[in-house]
Amino acid sequence: MTDYSSYPKAPYLTDNNSNVDLTPYDFVVASLLDGLTESLKFNTWVDMAYRAKKPIFGVVKILTSYYSKNTLGIWPAPENDMVFKLLRKRLIAPDGTTKYKVDAILIDTRTYYDGTQLIGGNWVIGVANHIREYIKSLGFKTFLLTDINSTLLYPNGSENPGVALTNEKFPVAVYQKGNPATDKLVIPWAPSAFLWWYGNRIISGVNTPMFVSLIDMEKLLKLLGLISGTVTPIPEIPPTVNTPEINQKLDLIIHKLDLCSQEADLIISKLDGIINNMR
């Protein structure tokens, strides 16, 4: 049994965290979207990871109840899909093309109940894949986050999310309470797991979930498509806190600049007319 206590570790940061020193950690995991609830501090964690030169995973937890259970595969138009709108706002800069420096997205599939009703396993994976395809279309790597309940809650093999996870072509991230030094993963797809959410620790007074990588740092960087020993080169537009208020102000500034440009063109046109009349 491998002792993972010395392997790369990361805090799982949420809006509850503040004043986090990233120095002791090898990478960062941060909440991005929980159903339709945005993490207001996500861009702050992205900026901190960028400055600390640490790879960062954003976490998107699926909300199956947002989509109709009777129309598997028939989704809202992308421009009307609220999940898509929220994801784009957090992952793409206001210029519409520049990506924030997020190295990969973990899609948290651990949504098994709608109230007290167990959700069909095919629906869980269907919603996860729907969201995944959109994130991939934005140019981000994606991995699935799961736990043992994806098997235990679904005795019918044909509706078992674990079947899809076993056939997953990419490594998966898993949640299982334990000790990386002494415990081992007991889920069926443990051989393909690369991240383990194993427990919690207090960070700056906040009880914070913790991840450990099940592969060494060089392999983790290669998996993310990063050059070994470095992180993604500095983007043209460094990530900043991206709030609706800031976006509105930016839109207003851009609008005013457009008006100024139009006025300048009009003044130049009038001057050209005066000069031509003087000749």
What are the domain boundaries of the chain? Answer: 9-237, 243-279
**Residue 16's pLDDT is what?**
96
CA distances from 153 to 110, 117, 126, 162, 247 (A): 11, 12, 17, 10, 43
Show the CA angle centred on residue 138, arms to residues 44 and 99, nearest 5°: 40
Neighbours of 82 (CB within 10 A): 12
Report, in this order, helix, strand and coil percent for the chain, each rounded to 5: 35, 20, 40
pTM (2 d.p.): 0.79
**Residue the block writes with tokens 């457009």:** 258
CA 270/CA 144 separation, integer angstroms: 61
Superfamily of domain 9-237: Glycosidases (3.20.20.80)
Q: What is the full per-residue pLDDT of the chain (279 aa) written as tens digits?
A: 789 999 999 999 999 999 999 999 999 999 999 999 999 999 999 999 999 999 999 999 999 888 876 555 678 888 999 999 999 999 999 988 899 999 999 999 999 998 899 998 888 999 999 999 999 999 999 999 999 999 899 887 667 788 888 778 889 999 999 999 999 888 877 778 999 999 999 999 999 999 999 999 999 999 999 864 443 333 333 333 343 444 444 444 444 444 444 454 445 455 555 555 555
Phi-psi region of 14 (alpha: psi -120 to 50; beta: other; left: phi over 0): beta
